[in-house]
Amino acid sequence: MARIAHIANLYGPKSGGLKTAMNSIAQEYANLGHDVMLIVPGERNLETKKPFGTVVEIKAPIIPFSGGYRIIFNTNKVKEKLKRFAPSFLEISDRTTLLRLADWAKTESIDTAFYAHERVDKVVAAFLPFLPFKKPLINYANQKIANKVDHIIATTEYAATEFRRLSSSNNLDSKLAISPLGVDLIHFSPNNSNSESKVKNANEQKILLACTRFSKEKDPDFLLDIARACKINGTQIQLVIAGSGPLTKKLVARAEKEDLPVSFIGFISDKNYLAQLLASADLFLAVGPIETFGLAALEALASGTPVICRDTSAITEIIDSKCGYSLPRDSSRWAEQIRNHFDLDQVAISKFARGRAEEFSWEESARKLLSRFKISQGSFQEKF
């Protein structure tokens, strides 16, 4: 039995894929007999027992203009909790304040893994496009991470790309591994649809669904461009957008001004309601240009709902031609694809979508990670 700790920032009530991934993999670790502790930022210091182990919240301030995300600055408090838990392995989902705990772990002979949940080069390009010397600065930052940890875990080849650019020093090739996320195939199912059938008459309104954070790097404005293009080409749709973030007011104001067929339903915390939404939609739109996995898109596939994604994101690795489409940032092309999609066999596509999702599972994700750590680190193997 191993004792596994996972530390992260940007984990909170409105976190999306990060929170789901951490909790789901932790549950699988627990199912396999391991002890798990998650350490995350919170409004106050708090420890909560969960089915998979303990969640420790460290009091942390909100990042301005982030929509409520928090970052832990009191890393001594994190270290104190880790010492008490005495992990045999430390997982790190953070590039900022918590990364320094890798140095402490090394002094304690604790093996470490860094999770590449985002492409920092793409985030910098979105927020700081005119920053000079971006490439060498980003390579330097990523090389520092590679030097600090024993493993670098990427969920897709897309997520791994910026680490593959680095020098092969410090056994980088052996440190880097691709480990896809999973999906809850029981909870997310076509059976959750509240409509009688996926097959609808051509004259009926089609429901398009998007689940995204309303922030610049997610490009939510493009969703409204698509809705406008569908309106222009005469496709009868209702675009339902679930999410929140700093751009909420701007997006709502634009949709009202242009009289777009768009409904904003806010962040969905009810997992059952989300499952129903995903299964009841006709298409799922994933417009984020720099997604490193796309967990919501995979949940849509598990619900029998096909996906259209940006051709620049990792979701292109999740879908296939039988259950989805990848397109460039061209709203007229998206609108055309949406219109043409409904001329196809919707029942068959729904089955293909579900079949593709069944190739992913949280149990397999956890087992692959444990196998990776065990094989690569003899000291960790002895603790199983």
Let me know if the fold of 3-182+361-381 is the same as that of 190-357: yes
How high is the pLDDT of residue 375? 33
Whether the predicted pLDDT of 110 surpasses 50: yes
How high is the pLDDT of residue 198? 44
Whether the predicted pLDDT of 132 surpasses 90: no
Whether the predicted pLDDT of 345 surpasses 60: yes
Average the pLDDT over 153-172 and give the result: 84
How high is the pLDDT of residue 201? 39
Domain ranges of the chain: 3-182+361-381, 190-357
Please report which confidence band the pLDDT of residue 130 belongs to, taking 50, 70 and 90 as the band edges.
Answer: confident
Coil vs helix vs strand at 234: coil
Average the pLDDT over 370-379 and give the result: 57
How high is the pLDDT of residue 372? 84
User: Which contacts qualify for 310-318: CB closer than 8 Å, 24 or more apart?
Assistant: 310/219, 310/286, 313/158, 313/286, 313/288, 313/289, 314/155, 314/156, 314/157, 314/158, 314/159, 315/286, 315/291, 316/158, 317/156, 317/157, 317/158, 318/156, 318/293, 318/294, 318/356, 318/360
Classify each residue of 131-140 as buried b or exposed e, where b means 16 or more C-beta atoms within 10 Å of its C-beta: eeeeeeebbe
The residue among 194, 202, 185, 377 whose CA lies nearest residue 300 is 185
How high is the pLDDT of residue 199? 40
How high is the pLDDT of residue 57? 96
How high is the pLDDT of residue 381? 40
How high is the pLDDT of residue 202? 41
* DSSP character string of 238-250: EEEEE---TTHHH
Whether the predicted pLDDT of 147 surpasses 50: yes
Sheet of 307-310, strands arranged across:
262-266, 237-242, 206-211, 283-286, 307-310, 324-327
Q: Which residue has the higher pLDDT, 237 or 165?
A: 237
How high is the pLDDT of residue 68? 76
Least confident of 65-69, 167-171, 368-372: 167-171
Please report which confidence band the pLDDT of residue 229 belongs to, taking 50, 70 and 90 as the band edges.
Answer: very high
Percent of the chain whose pLDDT exceeds 70: 92
Average the pLDDT over 242-262 and give the result: 96
Least confident of 95-104, 126-135, 223-232, 349-358: 126-135
CATH architecture of the region 3-182+361-381 = 3-Layer(aba) Sandwich (3.40)
Query: How confident is the model over 294-335, as pLDDT tens digits?
Result: 999 999 999 999 999 999 999 999 999 999 999 999 999 999
Whether the predicted pLDDT of 37 surpasses 70: yes
How high is the pLDDT of residue 170? 58
How high is the pLDDT of residue 163? 92
How high is the pLDDT of residue 67? 67
Q: Helices 248-257 and 221-233 meet at what angle, rounded to 10?
A: 20
User: Which contacts qualify for 344-352: CB closer than 8 Å, 24 or more apart?
Assistant: 346/198, 346/199, 346/200, 346/282, 347/198, 347/199, 349/306, 349/322, 349/323, 350/190, 350/198, 350/304, 350/305, 350/306, 351/304, 352/306, 352/320, 352/322, 352/323
How high is the pLDDT of residue 288? 95
Please report which confidence band the pLDDT of residue 231 belongs to, taking 50, 70 and 90 as the band edges.
Answer: very high
How high is the pLDDT of residue 195? 58
CATH architecture of the region 190-357 = 3-Layer(aba) Sandwich (3.40)
Query: How confident is the model over 280-298, as pLDDT tens digits?
Result: 999 999 999 999 999 999 9
Mean residue pLDDT of the chain comes to: 90
Please report which confidence band the pLDDT of residue 10 belongs to, taking 50, 70 and 90 as the band edges.
Answer: confident
CA distances 316 to 112, 118, 288, 297, Å, are: 29, 16, 12, 10
How high is the pLDDT of residue 55? 96
Please report which confidence band the pLDDT of residue 62 belongs to, taking 50, 70 and 90 as the band edges.
Answer: confident
Please report which confidence band the pLDDT of residue 12 belongs to, taking 50, 70 and 90 as the band edges.
Answer: confident
